[in-house]
A = this chain, B = another copy of it.
């Protein structure tokens, strides 16, 4: 089986590992699967050939023999369902791990994305200075709840799972704002994820593409 994913030709984050291909690379590394990467320019992402793979014109996509997927959560789930130890074998534990995958992308990530949008895409708007504290408070509300649930556990539900992979990846996007470090339980949780050898290989692989050239 040959696996090919797509990634930014030049990631807007300059190699900090926040682009979503890093999540897929991480899952592939955890599962021990080799993969090829096809780099896509911003222009090519909006052209018909890429839109046929990804209707929203984004990265990453995932191709294996006869199958095309987009949407990071779905790709990570597909990898986890067939390979490695990213989902527990027990049916109930598996359902709970999937719950954390959806919680990461549908409950925790949206306010973080809204903050990123406010800071970056609306950074020059006249309302942003006054509005930002409101957006930040919505993020903090979620972080308090997540921190309370995690408590002193290493991972969200027993062993490390695809749910943790997604949650750590989502929380990483919060670090540049400084808010992640306001929640030591979560900052430590994220560091625990980053310390995994599979994450480090994934990070290095995206950095090799995106590191600033001297």
Interface set of A (CB-CB < 8 Å, partner B): 51, 55-58, 66-67, 69-75, 77-78, 92, 95-96, 98-103, 105-107, 109-110, 113-114, 117, 122, 125-127, 130-131, 134, 142, 145-146, 148-149
Contact = CB atoms under 8 A, between A and B. Distances in A.
A130 B128 CA distance: 12
Given A77-B98, A98-B78, A130-B127, A107 B56 contact: yes
Contacts of A51: 145, 148
The binding surface of chain A is classed by DSSP as helix
B114 A125 contact: no
A95 B74 contact: yes
Contact of A98 (B56, B57, B74, B106): B74
A107 B75 CA distance: 14
A70 B103 contact: yes
Given A57-B145, A74-B102, A145-B57, A95 B110 contact: no
Contacts of A56: 103, 107, 142, 145-146
A155 to B, nearest CB: 14
A198 B38 CA distance: 42
A38 to B, nearest CB: 18
Given A55-B148, A134-B122, A73 B142 contact: no
Contacts of A127: 125-127, 130-131
Nearest to A109: B106
A66 B90 CA distance: 13
A66 B92 contact: yes
